[in-house]
């Protein structure tokens, strides 16, 4: 049954399609939030919502791909389609954010740095840090923000590589969770041997 289904479904194409859809959804959420509620983007609420949406989409696409290959796949069969879906979605958003801040809306990186720095300073003061410790921590935060929102080419490549590794780890976890072995792996061979459908 799985062999027959795989002949009609190109799982590589499905993985690419799912990654594109997921990436576009993330970009749409980003644009809506940025133009309607920009202050929300530096909040834990926005981070939490995007994480929940991301997990929901990851589960949906993983189960959908498994269904399209016949309902069963091993860890090895599941890993690469899941990883391709994950990393393509991440890559689209990663590249879009850099292009958006550099060419489309140059106020984006400036505003985001201001929002994060203001929130970070308030958080540090609430923890009772002294002025010297706060200044050092804010300087480090500023450095990290520069790498995130206005990276050099080398920083962008390194950032993408680190993100890809993290998403690969996520794909491994999903492949382990959603692998499903066929309880009757020789059914196709039996059907072929006896000339049945």
Q: Find the domain containing 142 and state its range.
A: 2-194
Q: What is the DSSP string of 174-196?
A: HHHHH-B--SSTTHHHHHHHHT-
Cβ–Cβ under 8 Å, residues 102 and 156 = no
**pTM higher than 0.75, yes or no?**
yes
| Structural domains of the chain, count | 1
Token pair belonging to 107? 């106020």
What gap in Å lies between CA 79 and CA 174, rounded to an integer? 8
Residue 154 backbone zone (phi > 0: left; psi -120 to 50: alpha; other: beta): alpha
Q: Going residue by residue through the chain (197 aa), what tens digit of pLDDT does each one get?
A: 343 344 468 999 999 999 999 999 999 999 999 999 988 888 888 889 999 999 999 999 999 999 999 999 999 999 999 999 999 999 999 999 999 999 999 999 999 888 888 888 888 777 777 777 878 888 888 888 888 888 888 888 998 999 999 999 999 999 999 999 877 766 554 443 333 34
Cα 69 to Cα 72, 111, 150: the distances in Å are: 7, 45, 41
pLDDT for the residue numbered 162: 94
What is the C-alpha to C-alpha distance for residues 48 and 9, in angstroms, rounded to an integer? 34
Number of residues assigned to the chain: 197
Q: For residue 196, how far is the Cα from the chain centroid?
A: 44
């Amino acid at each position: 049954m799985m062999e027959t289904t795989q002949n009609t479904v190109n799982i590589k194409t499905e993985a690419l399609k799912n990654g594109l859809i997921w990436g576009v959804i993330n970009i749409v959420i980003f644009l809506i939030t940025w133009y309607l509620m920009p202050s929300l983007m530096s909040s834990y609420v926005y981070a939490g919502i995007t994480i929940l949406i991301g997990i929901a989409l990851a589960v949906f696409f993983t189960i959908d791909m498994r269904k399209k290959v016949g309902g069963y796949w091993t860890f090895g069969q599941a890993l690469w389609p899941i990883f391709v879906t994950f990393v393509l979605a991440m890559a689209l958003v990663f590249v879009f954010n850099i292009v958006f801040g550099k060419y489309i809306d140059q106020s984006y990186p400036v505003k985001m740095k201001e929002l994060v720095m203001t929130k970070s300073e308030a958080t540090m003061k609430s923890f009772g840090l002294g002025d010297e410790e706060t200044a050092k921590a804010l300087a480090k935060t500023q450095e990290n923000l520069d790498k995130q929102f206005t990276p050099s080419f080398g920083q962008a490549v390194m950032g993408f590589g680190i993100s890809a590794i993290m998403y690969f780890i996520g794909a491994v976890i999903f492949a382990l969770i959603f692998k499903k072995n066929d309880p009757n792996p020789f059914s196709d061979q039996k059907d072929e041997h006896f000339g049945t459908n």
